[in-house]
Structure 1
Amino acid sequence: MTDNAPIVLVTGGSRGLGRNAALALARDGSDVIVTFLDNRTQADATVKEIEAAGRRAAALRLDTGDIDAFPAFVAETRTVLGGWQRERIDGLLNNAGMGVHAAFAETTPEQFDWLYRVHLKGVYFLTQALLPLIRDGGRIVNVSSGLARFSMEGYSAYAAMKGAVEVLTRYLAKELGARGIGVNVLAPGAIETDFGGGRVRDDAAINAWVAANTALGRAGVPDDIGAAAAALLSPRMGWVNGQRVEASGGMLL
């Protein structure tokens, strides 16, 4: 372990795709700060797995839908960095989120606002709050969804937020270019996780439909996404900027 190893902050990094990305980053040699919402036990387990890979790790609680909590979170992040004798992070993965499956005609204002706070407003203002901690030449990846390209019933509000994040990403790439910070979008396709109640993972009919409509012949698994996120956050991808990279196996081409 070296003190100059890259440090990446992963929101929603204690479970699901965020956890998988955090472990992939650790295997690639990065120290990782993960955030979690409620499950401290799960977050601590992720920290232990990162440490078992030989990297430093920390878990901080964060509700990405509560922008009033961001100043205190930034202060906590500074404290962690200070303990590692560092002042800056090298990468930010805006991954935290959840899904709402509801027909357009049945989506409530409360559901819409919940998705907006977490998936758009939270991403916007958390990134803004963390800018002083991101080193010049660093990397930002915002997680979107294949649903921003292809349409499936029941995800209109969720996909609209992800579409907005994709537009925001291009603006961030433009405005942060003067600091050499690259900003891209990673858009997963249908993945076997607990997202949306685990529909792709647990419903055999849905899983079969996804496989039949994916060029590579199967639904995605978390390892497909963690590796892609780690790659986009790597300096090796430094000339890739302002782009949308879909990791869907070629779904609905």
Structure 2
Amino acid sequence: MTRKIALITGASRGLGRNAAEHLAARGIDIIGTYHSKADEAQSVVATLEQAGVRAAMLQLDVSNSASFAAFAGQLADTLKQRFGTDKLDFLVNNAGIGLNVPFSETTEAQFDQLLNIQLKGPFFLTQHLLALLKDGGRIVNISTGLTRFALPGYAAYAAMKGAMEVLTRYQAKELGARGIRVNILAPGAIETDFGGGVVRDNQQVNDFIAGNTALGRVGLPDDIGAAIALLLEDGNGWITGQRLEVSGGMFL
């Protein structure tokens, strides 16, 4: 049986790497993207191959939409040469950055950077990759719990993710004719290096979040990687156009 293939943006670290490891554990081959750290990316390839799957890493700057046509060509070549096929099964739009700045102090440059990475990037990257995605394939976009509850300093970041939630519904509607399911996963606060590692490294922040979470702790990368893998499992093919929050019950 031919193994399925997932493309995960931002797969060299954090939640993207964790998702890649969870999918590899389920026998899914992985193509990941990384921004600048080639050595780190190749370390992920080695880890995934040790799990028994095929893996590759391609460089991509998701903020540079002008590069997407060339990236799609490189991806097509990789699929053919490394994996012996011309199509992906899954696309996970994970790559992103954080920003914690009050609304009144957010600069236009910061806003534009978030716009390019968090909204324009996945919008046009997905558009360029549609020809490489199988009919019946799946797309998982990544949002944030901050679109449901508001914490000071995340106005611009959450606004971009809110737009991604709306986009997800439109993608599900418009791509449904091809049998493509599109959903968006919204993590709560997770212990990673995201946003400078504040949730992981600042005990006061960690305790505050845990105290406002139904399950009494902050999230771990495995909580999110497992949830992404869950959305891509065969038995969940009747789920599309949905926002799934994976936050342990933050601010219920």
Class of the TM-score when normalised by the shorter of the 2 chains: over 0.9
In structure 2, give the amino acid aligned to 1:157. A
After superposing on structure 2, the runs of 4+ consecutive aligned residues of structure 1 that deviate more than 3 Å are none
Match of 1:157 in 2: 156
Taking the aligned partners of 2:206 and 2:50, their CA distance within structure 1 comes to: 33
Match of 1:128 in 2: 127
Match of 2:184 in 1: 185
- Displacement of 1:231 after TM fit? 1.1
Taking the aligned partners of 1:109 and 1:235, their CA distance within structure 2 comes to: 43
Pairing 1:67–2:65 present: yes
Taking the aligned partners of 2:171 and 2:160, their CA distance within structure 1 comes to: 16
In structure 2, give the amino acid aligned to 1:213. N
Matches within 5 A, 1:211-222: 211-222=210-221
Pairing 1:95–2:111 present: no
- Displacement of 1:235 after TM fit? 2.3
Match of 1:35 in 2: 33
Structure 2 gaps of 5+ residues are none
In structure 1, give the amino acid aligned to 2:47. E
Three-state SS of the structure 1 residue aligned to 2:62 is coil
When normalised by structure 2's length, the TM-score is: 0.99
Pairing 1:50–2:77 present: no
Structure 1 gaps of 5+ residues are none
Taking the aligned partners of 2:224 and 2:6, their CA distance within structure 1 comes to: 16
- Displacement of 1:234 after TM fit? 2.1
In structure 1, give the amino acid aligned to 2:217. R
Three-state SS of the structure 2 residue aligned to 1:167 is helix
In structure 2, give the amino acid aligned to 1:115. L
Taking the aligned partners of 1:235 and 1:123, their CA distance within structure 2 comes to: 24
Percent of pairs with identical residues: 57
In structure 2, give the amino acid aligned to 1:45. S
Match of 2:114 in 1: 115
Taking the aligned partners of 2:122 and 2:234, their CA distance within structure 1 comes to: 22
Taking the aligned partners of 1:16 and 1:206, their CA distance within structure 2 comes to: 19
- Displacement of 1:162 after TM fit? 0.2
Taking the aligned partners of 1:128 and 1:185, their CA distance within structure 2 comes to: 16
Match of 1:24 in 2: 22
Match of 1:239 in 2: 238
Deviations 1:78-129 (A, max 9, x none): 1111011101000000000001110000000000000000000001000000
Taking the aligned partners of 2:148 and 2:89, their CA distance within structure 1 comes to: 29
In structure 2, give the amino acid aligned to 1:18. G
Match of 2:172 in 1: 173
Between the two proteins, the alignment pairs up a number of residues equal to: 251
Match of 1:77 in 2: 75
